[in-house]
A and B are shown apart, each in its own frame.
Chain A
């Protein structure tokens, strides 16, 4: 079963920041938080991941609470093309080739409005 809880849907105005919350209260010490998004009828696209520190890349920022029980994905300036289902996933780290599977929850459908 998925270890994360996300709101089923959110709206955001174009040009504004989109803040997508995720609850992962049972996360283990060696588990990372991954964010992916899926635009209709396409494969999931990697956005960002983190362990405990906040992370930022060209797509988004990831804010992880100090107790690691929740996180927020921030899209700083949402565009219509950011409309997608956003998945928050927790999974243990990769060690020397051993890989843990990604289990998807139901995700959040973000609708960016013009």
Chain B
């Protein structure tokens, strides 16, 4: 149980375009979802926290207009990287939490901007 599906696993896009990443909790309702970014050989950095039906809370230094987060239902959150540039190339990971406790992570999305 407690599976989080993240899609796509890999994406290559051209500079200036937008990319949407989906995160779904398959067998539980996620009260809160988190989005992380990870650069090579570094740890996970929390980008934002989102609760269903409300605006996401962004960590300091994360541009909310660039990284759009939508958490429209208890099982789906999306992260859209707008006007992507090569420096946005990274490994993006979502996580979902349950009312009963616990955090489950998606398998990650490798974004490459060319």
Contacts and interface: CB of A to CB of B under 8 A. Distances in A.
A45 interface: yes
Given A43-B106, A44-B105, A99-B97, A104 B32 contact: no
B91 A93 contact: no
Interface in A50-102: 87, 93-94, 96-97, 99, 101-102
Nearest to B91: A41
A93 B100 CA distance: 10
Contacts of A96: 99
Q: Give the secondary structure class of A's interface.
A: loop
Interface residues of B, number: 27
Interface string B12-28: 00000000000000000
Interface residues of A, number: 23
B31 interface: yes
Contact of A99 (B31, B43, B45, B104): B31
Given A41-B108, A44-B93, A45-B105, A106 B99 contact: no
Given A44-B105, A102-B103, 14 more contacts: A38-B44, A46-B102, A46-B103, A46-B104, A94-B98, A96-B99, A101-B46, A101-B49, A102-B34, A102-B95, A104-B43, A104-B45, A106-B43, A107-B43
Interface of B: 4, 6, 31-32, 34, 36, 43-46, 49, 91, 93, 95, 97-108, 110
